[in-house]
Amino acid sequence: MLNFELSDEQKALVDEARRFTKERIIPIAAECDRKHEFPHDVFKEAWELGFVCPNVPEAYGGAGLGEVEHVLLVEELGYGCTGIQTSITANALAATPILVAGNEEQKQKYLGSLVKEPNYAAYALTEPGAGSDAAGIQTRCVQDGDDWIITGQKCFITNGSWASWYVVFATVDPALRHKGIAAFIVDRDLAGVSVGKAEDKLGQRASDTATINFDEVRVPSSAMLAPPGEGFKVAMQTFDRTRPDIGAGACGLMRRALEESIAYALERKTFGVPIAQHQMVQQMIADMGIRYEATRLMVLKAAYQIDQGGRNSLVASMSKAFGADAAMQSAIDAVQVFGGNGYITEYPVEKLMRDAKILQIYEGTSQIQRMVIARNLFSGIRTS
């Protein structure tokens, strides 16, 4: 049976998130963007409403929501500001490798820490020399008795400045590529962990993006999330579950671009009529609607597959690649509909265009997604 209706609980979640976005995110988004500031008080309120890491199972104190509910929520927050939404969602990114590979003790301690009080965590994979080529990381982990010593640098880490712990990927030998990679949970307050500069970004400026240094950080073996040879797969399994969230953020951004464009096109007059009556404007609006609808269906399908369990890389990457590219195009079109006004900060759409760009880059570029999609298709995996 196929059903496109949301359940009453899902509708209530969407309504609550929509109200929160309207009242608490939209009014401050432009200023947060301008000042490069994250509203921690808004994060705290989002946390109190259960919007942060809603997928932590009930056994660890969480709400135990599914990925379908999560993408619905992310879309609503993304409608207000994908920068603020990215920082809210980053905890779920950090929690996912623990959900995938953590033992009972790690789940209790670290997933529990995210739902016990407002708190940040971060996922630390990318390095200055290893972005798309994740198997090329150089951060080293060396066993020393019962401990491991981690040394290296991670960059572009969302919420890196505030995280109280990091999931860190490191290798016993870079020459082994993915076969040498392990994963650890590293507490921020350990000796040798230091936070470097926060980046000054083009868009999503409300979210924090920082460099983290690990200088001979000693962690106990209980901090190991995945042994050497298994860490890379945990990183990939994480992306399979989190890339649809990027598609969901893209849906929010696209819906905003569409609604702002419709309102403006009905108001703004040229040649004696509202620009909504010009066919070339109508075409842009129609294409924005098509992109939103197509992405939303793909994102919901990817989320549904996650909730069913099993390997889901194909549709997850499709939802991320299509959604990111669609959001970029819709944001560009929104600026075009607004004309000169679209280019100035007094109107909301130039921010959408700056914010959209990173959707095509973080959690795997649009090119990497197509690599994953093509590999899956060539190996015979289909979307259904």
Which residues form the interface with ligand COS (CB under 6 A)?
123, 125-126, 131-135, 178, 232-233, 236-237, 239-240, 313, 362-364, 368, 371-372
Cα angle 346-351-356, degrees, rounded to a multiple of 5: 165
Residue with Cβ nearer ligand COS (162 or 362): 362
Residue with Cβ nearer ligand COS (26 or 236): 236
Least distance CB 310 / ligand COS (angstroms): 11
Residue with Cβ nearer ligand COS (101 or 125): 125
Residue with Cβ nearer ligand COS (214 or 239): 239
Verify whether residue 37 is a known catalytic residue: no
Given 75, 76, 127, 363, which residue is catalytic? 363
Least distance CB 300 / ligand COS (angstroms): 20
Least distance CB 165 / ligand COS (angstroms): 16
Query: What would the 3-class secondary structure string for 147-190 be?
Result: EEEEEEEEEEEECCCCCCEEEEEEECCHHHHHHHEEEEEEECCC
Burial class (CB in 10 A: 0-12, 13-18, 19+), 269: exposed
- What tokens appear for 169 in the block? 């990927």
Least distance CB 226 / ligand COS (angstroms): 12
Separation between Cα atoms, residue 236 and residue 105, nearest integer Å: 23
CB 370 within 8 A of CB 378: no
Separation between Cα atoms, residue 136 and residue 175, nearest integer Å: 8
Residue with Cβ nearer ligand COS (233 or 278): 233
Least distance CB 124 / ligand COS (angstroms): 9
Separation between Cα atoms, residue 204 and residue 32, nearest integer Å: 9
Those residues whose C-beta lies under 8 Å from the C-beta of residue 349, and which sit 6 or more positions away, are 257, 260, 261, 331, 334, 335, 337, 338, 342
Active site amino acids:
363
